[in-house]
């Protein structure tokens, strides 16, 4: 089965991503965990952590194999060192426990990670999240 997820990035990264033809995993917690691409199940950038929300106006709609999309909390429990949970400001224990929810991670139950490069063959479309304009694939004509 496939799952639709979204990845957001800043406009200044778009040309290089397009040239490369893939999204590279870029977060590895200082090399201590598998490198990942952060995604969410919502097309709304307000579901991102507040420090990631600002300026990330390029939205990738992705269609990925469901077994390769790991829920953030499950992945974090398996891969992150226990002392990192609070320093990341992310509730990796349980999303339902309000003691671990802060203003920056209210929507963390919507977050997923992918431990590999995501090629353009898995992109459905890329849009400017502010204007709604489709920037990939380019319309014919």
Convert the pLDDT of each residue in 47-78 to its tens digit.
887 666 678 999 999 999 999 999 987 888 78
Convert the pLDDT of each residue in 20-50 to its tens digit.
999 999 877 777 778 899 999 999 988 887 6
- Sequence ranges of the domains in the chain: 2-136
DSSP secondary structure letters along 80-136: S-TTHHHHTT---S-TT-GGG--TT-TTGGGEEEESS-EEGGGEEEEEETTT--EEE
Reported as a pLDDT band with limits 50, 70 and 90, residue 106 is low
Q: What is the CA radius of gyration of the chain?
A: 15
H or E element at residue 17: helix 11-20
Cα–Cα distance measured from residue 10 to residue 93, given in angstroms and rounded to the nearest whole number: 29
Instruction: From 4, 36, 35, 1, select the one nearest 123 (Cα to Cα).
Output: 4
Q: What is the mean pLDDT of the chain?
A: 84
Please tell us whether the domain made up of 2-136 is placed in CATH 3.20.170: yes
Instruction: From 87, 124, 119, 121, select the one nearest 102 (Cα to Cα).
Output: 87
């Amino acid at each position: 089965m496939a799952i639709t997820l979204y990845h957001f990035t800043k406009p200044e990264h778009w040309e290089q991503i397009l040239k490369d033809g893939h999204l590279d995993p870029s977060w590895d917690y200082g090399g201590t965990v598998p490198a990942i691409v952060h995604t969410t199940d919502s097309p709304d950038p307000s579901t991102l952590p507040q420090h990631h929300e600002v300026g990330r106006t390029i939205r990738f709609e992705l269609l990925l194999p469901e077994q390769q999309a790991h829920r953030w909390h499950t992945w974090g429990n398996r891969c992150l060192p226990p002392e990192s949970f609070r320093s990341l400001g992310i509730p990796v224990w349980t999303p339902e426990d309000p003691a671990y929810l802060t203003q920056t991670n209210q929507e963390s139950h919507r977050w997923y990670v992918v431990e590999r490069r995501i090629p353009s063959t898995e992109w459905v479309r890329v849009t400017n999240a502010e204007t709604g304009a489709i920037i990939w694939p380019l319309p014919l004509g």
